[in-house]
Structure 1
Amino acid sequence: MLDYMPGHIRGNLKVYQDPISTLEMESLNIGSYIRVSTSKESQKSSIENQKKILQEWARINNYNHVKSYIDIRTGAYKNSRIQLNEMLEDIKNGVIMGVIVKEVSRTSRDVNDMLQIKREIAFYGGFIAAIKEGYDSRADSDEFFLILHSAMAQKERKNTSSRVKLTQLVKAREGKTNVPLPAYGYKLGEDKATLVSNPETAEVLKLIFTKFVEEGWGQLKITKYLNGQGIKTRRGAKWSTNAVKTILTNPVYIGATCYNMTRLIRKPDGTQERFIRPEHEWIIVENSHEPLISIDMFERAQAIIAKRRENDNREWSADRKYLGSGILHCGICGGKVYGARYRKNSKEDEDSYYFRYRCDGRNGQCESSMKYWNMQELDSVLIELFKTIFEDQDKLRQTIEKQTAKDNYDPTLIQEQDLLRKRIEDIEKAKKRQQMAFENEAIELEEYRLRMAELRDEYQRILDKYNKISEKRSKTENLIAKFEKIYISVREVLQNLENLPIGMKAELINNTFEKVYIQSDYGIDQIVYRN
């Protein structure tokens, strides 16, 4: 029989495992998905009950239950659930053929999210079944029933959310808190709705403000001090500068309750972004609980933060100081080299700084705990390096070819690519032999289809590997083409490179280098060019 399959698509076809074909199969490997909203003890018993119900359902219906996927406190959407994504990966890899849930709402209470999950499962050849609704995706090709069940779950979620939100708004207007974990320095009162001073942490809170406002400490110094004293955050973790800043800017410490100032909006990719609400929607209740600091100290803290932010913007954004930011690495330990500034001990000019590069030796492999380079001197080294490379076009090409020679001339890669090319040719010959055998009636139609499908699958796998190696080996030519383009654009400014605006110099250098390894004596140890 004539093969009517067009040649340009014959080798690109994959065999799709239609989930409907599994309806009559027995002992299919399946998993169960369980999601609970909190990690409370009561929810733990719910998890065990759901596991028993789902496993028993699988046994009665002649399925082989191999794994339970459990997400706790993960939010409403797919992208934030680790176990759900692991389940999808297992379906993709054939570990399980389907998944069962107690009810549709246990998977998602969002219509779009539920449809995305179902379609991804179906694309991998799997199915999803919900016990409560008697739903099976294999019997719902147009997704009507799934949309119906999901819409009802979404409506219930919205109604529940509205009821909870209304209760929280009422509590906020009464000056009561809506958070189960109070701000550092406070604890919940006997009514579990008002904030009272926590004697174990309130003094630390006051110390943070005192160090910052009265003694001029920065957030980093406060962070190091707290960690050095073994003091933990409210969650029992180490302090960070962000945690300190959150405290310094939180009006809760002057006795104010602030609520309904922001909202989360779901983005098209399923993640959420926080936005500020219109000011008329804010709820602010003053003197709702005992203040831990005075209004005067709080306002002084905000003024200091604003002044430092203004200084930082002036120093760092309007006139970028560090040319090697993001590309410099220590030639000894390989760690990143950071820009840093240090205030000069000058009574005449309190806002005068030294600018340095530094290696903190954070990986413990460096020759010293801290190394410094003069910013101007090291930036000059980078400028000279750039000029040296681009002044000679032939040398530029040789330098790039030397860096990428391993990919281009690696004997192992070349040998592997030759073997793959030979296998592709063998598969093409085998396909022709199968076609001739079928035309000569040496094999039946079913056998011919099976063998051709196997050959097409192998052909595609081999071709993918071959193309990846080709892409890897072609990096050299692509890189050379890119650098020659840069060469043409910069050759006119090379002689005047030092006088270009800092932003333009930074753009040229960052487009050229991915990593530059620097020695203590300012020598260049190694260069990695940006692809």
Structure 2
Amino acid sequence: MIINENKENKTLSYEEYPYATYVRISTDKEEQESSPENQIDICRYWLEKNGFEWSDKSVQFDDGITGTVLLDRTAMQLILDKARRREIKMVIFKSISRLARDLRDSLEIKETLIAHGVRLVTIEEGYDSLHEGKNDMKFEMFSMFAAQLPKTASVSISASMTAKVRRGEHVGQVPFGYSLKNKKLEINESEAPTIRQIFSWYNEDGFGFKTITRLLNEENEAGNLSKPRKKDKWQMTTVQRIIQNPTYAGMFIHNRYTKVKIGGRKKQIQNPREKWSIYEDHHPAIISKADWEKANSKEVMNKKTKITPWNEFRGLLRCSECGSNMVILQTGSKKKDGKKDDRWKYLKCSAYRRGGSKHGCVNHSPILYDDFREFLLKKLLRKGKNTKIKFENNLHEKKKKEIAVLQKQKLHLEEKNKSLVDIYLDKLIGKDEFQLKRQEYTDEIKKIEDKIFILSQEKDMKVEIESIQEAFEQLKNHKQDLHHALSTLIDHVVVHPDGKLDIHYKFKL
């Protein structure tokens, strides 16, 4: 039995005892028992029964967000932020499954709330941290059950999908070259010739992905072949995926990929081949299995596929014309003895690489990667050696300016929040709109206050100073990978077609 905290048995208002009511639904297909209205109604009943006044302002809602990915749940992050600020005293959940479906996340949320003096209540399980004390077994047990539920559902869904595949039904997105009829794939005769031509160019003519992409766009403009479904122009990556897709040979591979949680987020990875379920002759084939195996044989792939050279400037170089990243291309020629290639690495716009000058971007003048690297390293080392960098002053001034901008934004929001009351009293807006807007302003103000707090920390500034100084030291060792050092010192470099560079640093001189 839950005992009311209020000794005088009076009803506690939201202002006297601020709390949060957390509501989450994963999809629009959730059953009625997990609907937002149902969750709110259950939480409201518990609150009123236990001597608390209900407030709509308490509801924090994550819509369409899976309970297995904590980082994507904005409302939950806001609750944890309020807990750290000690702005709430209690959080109510309909059940632990609404709190999280990952055991580690459940325990992390619980520890964060309790560590900041926030009472945690999950109604269905009858868990109340105020009365459980140090007994965590109950919470951990129910959290484990909640974590197992999506895994059980995943197994059930996987079994259902396997049954559909065995019946010859298609699961997933309908690939280019096919249409869906009675849940099964059939050849789309207007698109299939394009697929056959791609494999013919690749297997018979020996063309690579870039050449095939160019030819596809030319034939598309001439009206001889189909254009892609989602874009106006063919992309090299699309051609590559078509070549690698066994669907075109009439095969369906089930359980090829799975999702794992890395760093708080889900990532798709490929399963080992022994876990794949391969269904031969699952649907009509556009090309023969022999043609697909030839295109994906190691002998052919090794001839066509060039290993992408290591790029220490990845993510730092931008094309001045289209804004795309500059990437490394590699070319070469055989020596007269035929034993070894002379290879050159040079920078090109990634949009030009994908679509050429007609369908992508302009062709930049060749810039050899090694020459570019040597030039930029020398330039950075000269700046680090010959210029007295006032790290502390520059960073302090930078932070002061950022804080000043944030404080100005905060003041503006506070003024808008005050004027909102006058607008409401003048009956220019209704109560619901007033509360929604006021909450919006309040949340924005709290976010700005967080940023100001972080910028004000002297420790962070010292770490940044040491990081920049360390980056300059690392540049002296030319042989090691310098990506981290370069990313610390350089914000980005704009590369013009004539080879001119605009270097934007992360520090002030």
TM range (shorter): 0.5 to 0.7
Structural mapping, 1:382-421, within 5 Å: 382-384=373-375, 386-387=377-378, 396-399=384-387, 401=389, 406-407=394-395
Instruction: Give the match's secondary structure for 2:121.
Output: strand
State the SS of the aligned residue for 1:69: strand
The alignment partner of 1:372 has SS state of coil
Could you say which residue in structure 2 is the equivalent of 1:132? Answer: 124
Deviation at 1:372, TM superposition (A): 1.6
Provide the residue aligned with 2:200 in structure 1. Answer: 213
Structure 1 residue 205 displacement after superposition: 5.1
Specify which of 4, 8, 12 is matched with residue 26 of structure 1: 12
Residue pair 1:223, 1:241 contacting (<8 A) in 2 also: no
Seen in structure 2, the aligned counterparts of structure 1 residues 222 and 352 have a Cα distance that, compared at 3 Å, is farther
Q: Does 2:243 correspond to 1:248?
A: yes
* Separation in structure 2 between the aligned mates of residue 37 and residue 247 of structure 1, nearest angstrom: 33
Aligned length: 427
Which residue of structure 2 aligns with residue 197 of structure 1? 186
Give, in whole Å, the separation in 1 of the partners of 2:208 and 2:33. 45
**CA RMSD, 1 decimal:** 5.4
* 1:108 aligned partner, one-letter code: A
Instruction: Provide structure 1 residue ranges, at least 5 long, that are not aligned to the other structure.
Output: 1-19, 363-367, 417-460, 491-502
Distance in 1 between the 2:121 and 2:399 partners? 52
Q: Distance in 2 between matches of 1:238 and 1:69?
A: 40
Are the equivalent residues in 2 in contact too, given 1:90–1:96 (CA < 8 A)?
yes
Evaluate the alpha carbon distance shift between residue 374 and residue 411 of structure 1 in structure 2; reply closer, same or farther with a 3 A threshold: closer
Once residues 200 and 318 of structure 2 are traced to their aligned partners in structure 1, the CA distance between those partners, rounded to angstroms, is 36
Show the counterpart of 1:423. Answer: none
2:323 and 2:217 map into 1 onto residues whose CA distance is 21
Q: Distance in 2 between matches of 1:68 and 1:387?
A: 53
TM-score (normalizing by structure 2)? 0.62
8 Å CA contact 2:28, 2:64 repeated in 1: yes
* DSSP 3-state at the match of 2:293: helix
Residue equivalent to 1:147: 140
Larger radius of gyration: 1
In 1, distance between residues paired with 2:237 and 2:460? 43
Say if 1:206 and 1:293, in contact at 8 Å, map to a contact too. Answer: no
One of 271, 292, 305 as aligned partner of 2:286? 292
Match 1:123 to one of 91, 103, 115: 115
Structure 1 SS opposite 2:171:
coil
Matches within 5 A, 1:122-521: 122-141=114-133, 142-154=135-147, 156-172=149-165, 174-177=166-169, 179=171, 181-186=173-178, 189-190=181-182, 192=183, 195-197=184-186, 199=188, 203-204=190-191, 206-214=193-201, 216=207, 218=209, 221=214, 231-233=228-230, 241-266=236-261, 271=266, 274=269, 276-277=271-272, 279=274, 281-303=275-297, 306-307=300-301, 311-313=305-307, 316-317=308-309, 326-328=315-317, 335=323, 338-339=326-327, 341=329, 356-358=346-348, 370=362, 372-376=364-368, 379-380=370-371, 382-384=373-375, 386-387=377-378, 396-399=384-387, 401=389, 406-407=394-395, 468-469=457-458, 472=461, 479-480=468-469, 483=472, 487=476, 510=486, 514=490, 515-516=492-493
User: What secondary structure is seen at the aligned counterpart in 2 of 1:214?
Assistant: helix
Paired residues of 1:71 and 1:84 also in contact (CA < 8 A):
no
Whether the 8 Å contact between 2:321 and 2:362 is mirrored in structure 1 is: no
> Is 2:34 aligned against 1:39?
no
Query: 1:333–1:403: structure 2 CA closer, same or farther, 3 Å change rule?
Result: farther
> What are the Cα deviations for residues 371-429 of structure 1, in whole angstroms up to 9, with x where unaligned?
623223x7536535645775x7xx7433252798733778968xx9xxxxxxxxxxxxx
Alpha carbons of 1:509 and 1:128: their partners in 2 closer, same or farther (altered >3 Å)?
closer
Does structure 1 conserve the Cα–Cα contact (< 8 Å) formed by 2:177 and 2:192? yes
The correspondence for 1:528, drawn from 491, 502, 505, is: 505
The amino acid that maps onto 2:201 is E
Give yes or no for contact 1:328–1:337 (8 Å, CA) kept in 2.
yes
> Aligned AA for 1:38?
T
Paired with 1:226 and 1:49, the residues of 2 have a C-alpha distance of: 57
Q: Judging changes above 3 Å, is the alpha-carbon distance between structure 1 residues 507 and 112 closer, same or farther for their aligned structure 2 residues?
A: closer
Q: Distance in 2 between matches of 1:411 and 1:54?
A: 43
Task: Kindly provide the amino acid, as one letter, of the partner of residue 191 in structure 2.
Answer: V
Distance 1:156 1:465 in 2: 38
Give the 3 Å change call, closer, same or farther, for CA 309–124 of structure 1 in structure 2: farther
Q: How far is 1:150 from its partner?
A: 2.6
Distance in 2 between residues matched to 1:261 and 1:116, nearest whole Å: 32
Distance 1:36 1:108, change over 3 A: same
**Partners of 2:392 and 2:365 in 1: how far apart?**
30
Residues 98, 126 of structure 1: 8 Å contact kept: yes
8 Å contact from structure 1 (residues 340, 358) kept in 2: yes
SS of equivalent residue, structure 2 residue 22: strand
CA distance in 2, matches of 1:519, 1:288: 51
Q: CA deviation at 1:524?
A: 5.6
Task: Determine the C-alpha separation between the residues in 2 that align with 1:342 and 1:486.
Answer: 25
- Report the AA paired with residue 249 of structure 2: I
Could you list the runs of 5+ residues in structure 2 that have no partner in the other structure? 353-359, 405-449
| Partner SS, residue 306 of structure 2 | helix
Find the counterpart in structure 2 of residue 103 from structure 1. 95
Mapped partners of 1:209, 1:159: distance in 2: 41
When residues 284 and 129 of structure 1 are mapped into structure 2, their CA distance, relative to the original with a 3 A threshold, is same
Q: Contact conserved, 1:39 with 1:72, CA < 8 A, in 2?
A: yes
Aligned-partner residue type, residue 301 of structure 2: K
2:301 alignment partner, SS class:
helix
Q: Distance in 2 between matches of 1:354 and 1:71?
A: 51
1:142-162 deviation line (CA, Å, top 9, x unaligned)? 223222323344455555544
